[in-house]
Amino acid sequence: MNRVYIKTYGCQMNERDSEAVAAQLRARGYSVVENEHVADIVLLNTCAVRDQAEQKAIGKSGYLAKRKRNNPDFVLGVMGCMAQNRGTALLEKLPDLDLLVGTQKFHRVPQMLDQFIQSQKGLGPRPSTLVDLDAEEGSEETIREHLGDKQAVSAFVSIMQGCNMHCTFCIVPKTRGPERYRSMDSICEEIEELVANGTREVTLLGQIVNSYGMRQIPYKNGISPFVQLLERINAIEGLERIRYTSPHPRGFQKDLVEAYGRLEKLMPYVHLPVQSGSDSMLKRMRRPYTRRRFLEIVDQLRAVQPEIALSTDIIVGFPGETGEEFEDTRSLFEEVGFDMAFIFKYSERSGTKSAEMDDDVPPEVKDERNKILLDILGESSLRRNEALVGSMQPVLLEGPARKGKGIFMGRNPANRKILVPASPRLVGQTVPVRILEATVSVLNGELCLSGIDEEETAVLPVSK
């Protein structure tokens, strides 16, 4: 028994952490499977940012725990943010858990699982629940290796852990701890190795990436540590595209805006969470910028890169949200015309500042506000996508699409998902694609070989 299935809830950071656990387990002889039904060990990597995410993982754990009745060797673990947030209190709800692992202890999972394997071989007692939720000095450097031998055209690279902001609604500072940064050398080395293994695009990950290195790495000629890091990564030969998520509007200064005009690998797409378009609400959320400042950043980015794509996060129904405050969010949302957005209904998280406020916006009002924004988004993404029909886009092909034989998935610089009939040899190449059709979420296209045969196109990658 050593087939492990890892189910991931929540953000890219969690996906990245799951990849790291999977790689470490593979290196130790476990096989990581894609189907929970054939697994002997199931690990849930959880999210705590909204109640719904926690309830889903709790429901799933309860369901999986039943498998232990038929198979006493079955191992069930909960890792990540919900484990950190709820701690051992979770065991009252889920007494069958074998593993409870916090956000700074992912690297300890293989060692913990080994103890269960040993017991099955009769080499030791079966442990009761193994719990490790402590903080760990230097854990930001334990998140380095994550793909192992697995190749990926596009890879996540964690540059930091934790968050020092104090947004009143947010549980993350509690689940992920204060900011810790990896060194630039170690990040660049990791990317060089990824590139040598076939990666062409990296997405740098952090709760607030533009705080990278703050108060530890000095500014150089007015250039912040994060932009210095982008400069270094931009110089890595063989890498074609750089993305990152998420920045905070507060630290989105001129040096980062200008980077879009001079770093050719930096892709013209920014996910910039605004949360609200109302100044009074931003104050209550403890988001230290104004509506005007946010719109100014958008204008500055568009001045440097007119084609830049923008996405955002918004919360509707934060405590005390008046009709007028929501109207400010609605009008900002319409004015910017985002390509993509995540719209969330406020969810009270115990331990946050806003949990002390009255969650007084009725559910039906939250629903209605949510729908108003979704309708605007549907229209604006469709409009932005339709504008690309007929154009030629440089598409980095990532691999076969989930549906459709012979169809491959890739992205244009603005991060739009594009489906195109192609051949497996072209995976990892940036190829010219003519866009034929647009929906809200995806573009369909055809390889544009313009008289050159496919063989040659494969060695003629187009740049940004």
Summarize as ranges the residues that interact with ligand 5AD (CB under 6 A): 49-50, 169-170, 273, 275, 313, 315, 344, 346-347, 349
CA distance 192 to 198: 10
* Cβ proximity to ligand 5AD, 343 vs 431, nearer residue: 343
* Cβ proximity to ligand 5AD, 320 vs 421, nearer residue: 320
Look at the chain and count its residues: 464
CA distance 333 to 107: 41
The burial of 235, by beta-carbon neighbours within 10 Å (0-12 exposed, 13-18 middle, 19 or more buried), is given as exposed
Radius of gyration of the chain from its Cα atoms, rounded to whole angstroms:
23
Say which residue the tokens 């992205």 belong to.
411
CA distance 250 to 247: 9
Token pair of 48, please?
């705590």
* Cβ proximity to ligand 5AD, 40 vs 328, nearer residue: 328
| Cβ atoms of residues 302 and 262 within 8 Å | no
Of the candidates 316, 238, 231, 322, the one whose C-alpha atom is nearest the C-alpha of residue 276 is 316
DSSP at 75: E
| Cβ atoms of residues 269 and 412 within 8 Å | no
Q: How far is the CB of 377 from ligand 5AD (least distance, A)?
A: 14
Q: How far is the CB of 11 from ligand 5AD (least distance, A)?
A: 6
Q: How far is the CB of 311 from ligand 5AD (least distance, A)?
A: 11
Q: How far is the CB of 106 from ligand 5AD (least distance, A)?
A: 20
Q: How far is the CB of 205 from ligand 5AD (least distance, A)?
A: 13
Q: How far is the CB of 355 from ligand 5AD (least distance, A)?
A: 9
* Cβ proximity to ligand 5AD, 265 vs 349, nearer residue: 349
* Cβ proximity to ligand 5AD, 294 vs 408, nearer residue: 294
* Cβ proximity to ligand 5AD, 308 vs 315, nearer residue: 315
Q: How far is the CB of 163 from ligand 5AD (least distance, A)?
A: 11
> Angle at Cα 434 formed by Cα 433 and Cα 438, nearest 5°?
110
Q: How far is the CB of 285 from ligand 5AD (least distance, A)?
A: 9
* Cβ proximity to ligand 5AD, 270 vs 395, nearer residue: 270
* Cβ proximity to ligand 5AD, 50 vs 200, nearer residue: 50
Q: How far separated are the first and last CA of the chain, in Å rounded? A: 47
Residue 91 phi, psi (nearest 5):
-70, -20
* Cβ proximity to ligand 5AD, 83 vs 426, nearer residue: 83
Of the candidates 380, 451, 454, 387, the one whose C-alpha atom is nearest the C-alpha of residue 420 is 454
Positive or negative, the CA dihedral 424, 426, 427, 433 is negative
Token pair of 39, please?
């697994």
* Cβ proximity to ligand 5AD, 11 vs 83, nearer residue: 11
CA distance 414 to 427: 19
* Cβ proximity to ligand 5AD, 22 vs 172, nearer residue: 172
Q: How far is the CB of 206 from ligand 5AD (least distance, A)?
A: 13
Which run of H or of E encompasses 76? strand 75-80
| Residue 62: Cβ within 10 Å count | 12
Q: How far is the CB of 61 from ligand 5AD (least distance, A)?
A: 22
Query: 256-287 as b/e, with b when 16 or more CB fall inside 10 Å?
Result: bbebbeebebbbbbbbbbbbbbbeebbebbeb
Q: How far is the CB of 449 from ligand 5AD (least distance, A)?
A: 41
| Cβ atoms of residues 202 and 155 within 8 Å | yes
Positive or negative, the CA dihedral 263, 293, 384, 208 is positive
